[in-house]
Each structure stands twice: as C-alpha cells, then as structure tokens.
Amino acid sequence: MTDLNISAISCALLQSGTTCWKCSAATTVTAIWVPGCIDNEDEECPEEGGAALLKYISDLDAGTMARVRAASPWLKSNYSHTADQTHLANHCQACDALQGDHFVYCPDGPFFPQDQAGVDQLKVIFEHGPLMASASTAQSGWMELVKLPAEG
C-alpha cells in the first residue's frame, strides 16, 4: 500500500469523450475532480489547495475505488510505459488500450475546457464521502467552474 497523500471531503467524476489513439473508436473518459484538497506529502506542512483533478493515481481508498469502478469500469489500474508507473488510467471501451493521462489532460484533451460552455459539456457525477488518494493534482481556473448536480 502506498502513502495516501491527497485528502478531500468529497469528489466528482467528470466524464467526457475522446477518440482512441489505437483503434480510433469514440470512447468515454473519466477524471476525478475534487472541490478542494489537502496534500499531506509533507506531513509537517500540509498544503491546502482549491479545485483540482487527480492525475497519476497510484492508490485510492477502498470506498472511493468501489464507487469509481461502478460508474467508470474503464478507469482501471495499469502500467504506463510513457509515465513509467502503474496508475489508475482510462481505457478504450472498444479495444481496451490505455488512454494516457498526459493525452487526456493536455490542453487539446477532453479535460481542458476553455470556458463555462466547455465545462457544461462535461457529465458530472457527484460522489459523497471523503476521498484519500496517492496522486498528483492539476489545477486550472476552469476547475472552479464545475457545477455539482442539485441534490434531490
């Protein structure tokens, strides 16, 4: 088990579409978004951050992992030669090819909207409950524009 350095009080799964680099099929991809988090990597001086996406997730608490698997079975652990590590990554639903974090989160990727209209195109699945992860975070201004679905 790895050290779980990221903690958040809740999270959401953001879903979008992309084209598989290997088979060219349209495929759904999922990102884990947190409205705010604490990075506990330096135990003496934890860093508090705003809204962020989790990238290169090498471990996730059991409860969150179960919810992720139920909503996005294509998001699974695999070794990436490009990243030279095993992490939770999107896979093509047609051919099962790993869809690398670099390409999913890059400026031309599905999780880099330029405005509110682009953010509104993302499907948001809110997840109640705390999250603990071993991951890195990526922050951008658009992440503050994510609107959580109304409870009800």
Q: In this predicted structure, what is the pLDDT of residue 151? A: 53
In the block, residue with structure tokens 């992490």: 87
What's the pLDDT at 40?
81
Q: What is the pLDDT of residue 13?
A: 95
**6 touches 39 (CB < 8 A):** yes
Q: Residue-wise pLDDT tens for the chain (152 aa)?
A: 347 899 999 999 999 999 999 999 999 999 999 999 998 876 666 678 889 999 999 999 999 999 999 999 999 999 988 888 899 999 999 999 999 888 888 888 899 998 999 999 999 999 878 999 999 998 898 999 998 776 54
Instruction: Give the predicted TM-score (pTM) of the model.
Output: 0.89
In whole angstroms, give the CA distance from residue 56 to residue 136.
Answer: 6
Interatomic CA distance for residues 86 and 40, integer angstroms:
21
